[in-house]
A and B are shown apart, each in its own frame.
Chain A
Amino acid sequence: MVSDLRALAKYVEPGIRLALPVDYAGVSMAMTRPIMERNTRNLDLVCVPTGGLQVDQLVGAGLVRSVETSAVSLGEAGGAPRFNAAVKDGTIALKDATCPAIHAGLMAAQKGSPFMPMRGLIGSDLLRHRSDWRVIDNPLADGGDPIVLIPAIKPDITIFHAPMADRFGNVWIGRRRELAAMAYASATTLVTVERIVDESLLASEMSAAGVLPALYVTEIAVAPKGAWPYGLWGEYPTDTAEILRYARAARTAEGFSDYMANAQMEPA
C-alpha cells in the first residue's frame, strides 16, 4: 500500500475534480511537484474550505480549469499571486462559495444524499452567481421560509498530508475531521504521511477516534516534512519566510516559473 509520490500522481488524470484541504489542516505540498511533472490539465479544484499555496502553484502552472472555494490566500504573506492573476485574466472559472457551503456539499456526498439545505446565502451575490445552488421553500414549514440547497460535492480525488499511518493503511487525522469528510465524499483518497508505524492505530481506544480507517484510503506514500513550507499540526510550524519568498517571486509569471524551476522543493 505504501507507494512513492509519482505513483500517487498517476491517479491525477486531466479533467478530474480534485479536493485539497485548508492550509492548516495538512496540505500535501510534497505532491504538488509530481502532479506538475505530469502536466495534467483542466483540473477542477475544490478547496476545503479555502485554498493557499498549493492551489496558487497548480493555477500558476496552468493545470486548473476551475476553482470552487471560499477564499484563496497566502495568509500572512498576502494574496495568492497566480490565482489573482488568473482571475483578472479570466483564465480560470470561479465557483465562489462560503465555508459552510463547501462543508455542506461534502456532507451530502458523505451521506449519499443529492443535496444539503443550508441557512444564510439568500441575498448574496455568491448565490446569484451559482446556478448549481437552488432556493426552495422549506417544505416542512407552513409556507415561505426559503432555504438554499447545496448539491453534493463528489470529488474524484482527495489529497492530503497527515502525521502517520499504520502498515494496515489506517491514517491518523486527529481532530482534523474535515480530512475524513473529504475522504468520505471522494472516490479516491491519496495520503502522504510523515511516517508509517507498525502497530494498528485502531488497537488503542485513545487513538482510534482520530483515525481515518483504511476503508477510505486508496494509497499512502511517505513524505517527511511533506506539508512544507506549510506546517503540520502537532509536528512542525509553518515556514513563513519561505511562503513570503514564494509570494514575492510569484508576482510575475516569469518569477513564478523561476521559483518553481529553481526552488528547493524540500526543507533545508
Chain B
Amino acid sequence: MMSEVHPREILICTVAKLLDGVRHVAVGASSPIPAAGAMLLRALKQQTGEKGPRISILGSVEHNFFTNGSAELFDCAGQGRIDAFFLGGGQIDGRGNVNLVGTGDYPQTQVRWPGSFGSAYLYYVVPRVILFREEHTPRALVEKVDFISTPGVSDNGVYRSGGPIALLTSKALFRFDKARPGFDLQSIHPGHDLAGIKDATGFQFAHESQPQQTALPDPQTLALLRGRVYDEVAETYPDFAAQMRREIERPLSHAS
C-alpha cells in the first residue's frame, strides 16, 4: 500500500498535465517542482513509446545542451523553439503582471529582489508560460504589482507570441484568460476551500460556485514518479529528491 499523496506530488503531477504536448520546456536552475513535472511527463510519454519533451535545465551542465553562451536560450525562445517556461515572482497580480524587482517606489525600493532576469523577453515569446509560486498569500498574489518586470498581456499590435496560461500555487490552480484579462480558478488542492483561497488571494478571480478539487495522480503515475522520476530529479536536485523520499516514507504529521 502506497503512502498518501504528498501535497508537492499533486503540484508535480499538475505541472506534467499543464505541459502535455510541449516539445521543449526550459526550467530554471532552482526549480525542482517544475523540473520534476517535466520529467514525469517525459517518463509518461516514453511509457507509451513517444519521445517526450526535451528538457533544458538552466545552469545545469548535464541537462543543458546550449553551446552559444547564455544568449542562446533567448535566441532559441525567440525562434519559437521553446514551448514552455516557468516564472515565479515576488509579486504576481490579477492581470498576470510579474514583479521580480522589489516593493515600494522604484528605484529606491524598500525590499529589493534580484531583478527581472530574462522575464521581459521570455514572457512575450514562450507560448506556454506557467506562473509557479508555492507561497499563496495576499503579499505574493497582489491586486497590482509595485513594478512590472513583465506584463501579463500586451496592447493590440504589440508582438506577443507567448504569455501566461496558468498560475499554480500550493493551494490552487488558476487558468489565465487573456481576453479579460484575469485568472479563473480551475481547481483547489485537497485540504483547501474557496473561502480560504479568497482570503489568501490579493486579486479578484472568476470561479464556479463549487470549484472542483485538483485531481490526484492515479497509482501508476504515482509509482512512476516515486521510482524513475525521483531518480532523475536526484541527479540535478539531490536535496529535493531526498527530502521528498523522506517525507513520503514518513507522512507529514498533520497539525491536530
Chain A residues in the interface with B (C-beta under 8 A): 22, 24-25, 48-50, 69-73, 75-76, 79-80, 83-84, 87-90, 93-94, 96-101, 103, 107, 118-127, 129, 144-147, 175-181, 233
Contacts and interface: CB of A to CB of B under 8 A. Distances in A.
Given A100-B74, A122-B154, A123-B158, 17 more contacts: A25-B69, A25-B70, A48-B70, A70-B116, A72-B115, A84-B112, A96-B101, A97-B116, A98-B120, A98-B149, A99-B117, A103-B74, A120-B123, A121-B124, A122-B158, A125-B149, A145-B157
Given A125-B149, A175-B67, A179-B69, A50 B155 contact: no
B65 to A, nearest CB: 10
5 contacts: A49-B118, A70-B115, A177-B71, A178-B70, A178-B71
A16 to B, nearest CB: 22
Contact of B30 (A76, A120, A124, A146): A76
A87 B158 contact: no
Interface of B: 30, 59, 61, 66-72, 74-75, 78, 100-102, 106-110, 112-125, 147-151, 154-155, 157-159
Contact of A121 (B70, B72, B121): B121
Given A84-B112, A126-B116, A147 B159 contact: yes
Contact of B70 (A22, A76, A101, A126): A22
Query: Top 3 closest A-B pairs, CB basis?
Result: A71-B115, A177-B69, A98-B120
A71 B113 CA distance: 8
A125 B91 CA distance: 14
Contacts of A145: 157, 159
A146 B69 contact: no
Given A126-B149, A146-B158, A177-B68, A87 B117 contact: no
A99 B110 contact: no
A225 B139 CA distance: 42
Contacts of B70: 22, 25, 48-49, 99, 103, 178
Contacts of B110: 88
Contact of B151 (A123, A147, A176, A181): A123
A118 B114 contact: no
A29 to B, nearest CB: 18
A79 B69 contact: no
Contacts of A97: 116
A175 B149 contact: no
B108 A87 contact: yes
Contacts of A233: 61
B109 A87 contact: yes
B97 to A, nearest CB: 9
A98 B74 CA distance: 11
Given A71-B117, A87-B102, A123 B112 contact: no
Contacts of A146: 157-158
B107 A98 contact: no
Contact of A88 (B108, B120, B151): B108
A76 B32 CA distance: 13
Contacts of B66: 175
B148 to A, nearest CB: 4
B112 A79 contact: yes
Contacts of B108: 87-90
Nearest to B65: A175
Contacts of A90: 107-108
Contacts of B124: 119-121
Given A88-B108, A94-B107, A100-B121, A175 B150 contact: no
